[in-house]
């Protein structure tokens, strides 16, 4: 990831709880899905401030992030089943086929190179493993114009307002299992894929 994104999230870590309030309903659904799965090794990419750690009920979790400040806050919130590491989604320091589950919650449109992050996720996921991608996705309706109009500002805020996951080759290697939509315009979605 770029040093600028890293610096941005280091500074933003203090204000992130405000964003969290808005994301709460989506995360509730995400963890409902996650906690219904059999016990497994779970990798959370771009774990952030760890405010959601209380929702992890079942799995052994490794959380990674490139922001040392985010991890510092998350460290105070973690429980016994959670380990945290400073690591880049685009070059994961894990062996192939290590994890049963991977979560990317509002991260895939933040990383510099989503293609690389998806490739790496595929590599470290076990066959039949599942990946959960929670994010905004640019729809094929009038909202896409909004996404395009704020593209310049979104870059300043270190995310990609225009985001089409189907444009990435690595996602085609996964099988889409479920698409859970949030809100009236289904702008936010939880996509659940499996590695064949």
Q: Which stretch binds ligand SAM (CB under 6 A): 101-109, 122-130, 149-157, 184-192?
A: 101-109
- 26 forms part of the interface with ligand SAM (CB under 6 A): no
Residues 153-192 that bind ligand SAM (CB under 6 A): none
- 89 forms part of the interface with ligand SAM (CB under 6 A): yes
Listing from the earlier edge strand, what are the strands of the sheet with 125-136? 82-86, 60-65, 41-45, 99-105, 125-136, 188-194, 175-182
Q: In angstroms, give the least distance from the CB of 168 to ligand SAM.
A: 15
Q: Which of 105, 135, 138, 161 binds ligand SAM (CB under 6 A)?
A: 105
- 5 forms part of the interface with ligand SAM (CB under 6 A): yes
- 131 forms part of the interface with ligand SAM (CB under 6 A): no
- 88 forms part of the interface with ligand SAM (CB under 6 A): yes
Q: Which stretch binds ligand SAM (CB under 6 A): 35-43, 103-111, 121-129, 175-183?
A: 103-111
The contact set with ligand SAM (CB under 6 A) reads: 1, 5, 9, 23, 45-48, 64-67, 70, 88-90, 105-107, 110-111
């Amino acid at each position: 990831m770029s040093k600028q994104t890293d610096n941005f999230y280091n500074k933003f870590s203090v204000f992130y709880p405000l964003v969290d309030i808005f994301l709460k309903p989506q995360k509730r659904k995400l963890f409902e899905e996650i906690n219904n799965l059999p016990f497994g090794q779970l990798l959370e990419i771009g774990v952030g401030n760890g405010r959601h750690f209380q929702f992890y009920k079942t799995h052994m979790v490794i959380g990674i992030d490139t922001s040392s400040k985010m991890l510092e806050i998350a460290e105070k919130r973690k429980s016994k089943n959670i380990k945290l590491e400073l690591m880049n989604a685009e070059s994961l320091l894990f062996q192939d086929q290590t994890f049963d589950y991977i979560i990317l919650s509002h991260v895939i449109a933040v990383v510099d190179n989503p293609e690389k992050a998806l490739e790496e996720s595929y590599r470290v996921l076990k066959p039949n493993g599942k990946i959960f991608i929670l994010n905004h996705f640019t729809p094929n309706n009038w909202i896409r114009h909004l996404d395009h109009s704020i593209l310049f500002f979104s870059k300043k805020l270190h995310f990609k307002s225009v985001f089409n996951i189907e444009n990435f080759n690595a996602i085609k290697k996964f099988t889409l299992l479920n698409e859970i939509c949030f809100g009236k315009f289904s702008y936010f979605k939880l996509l659940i894929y499996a590695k064949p």
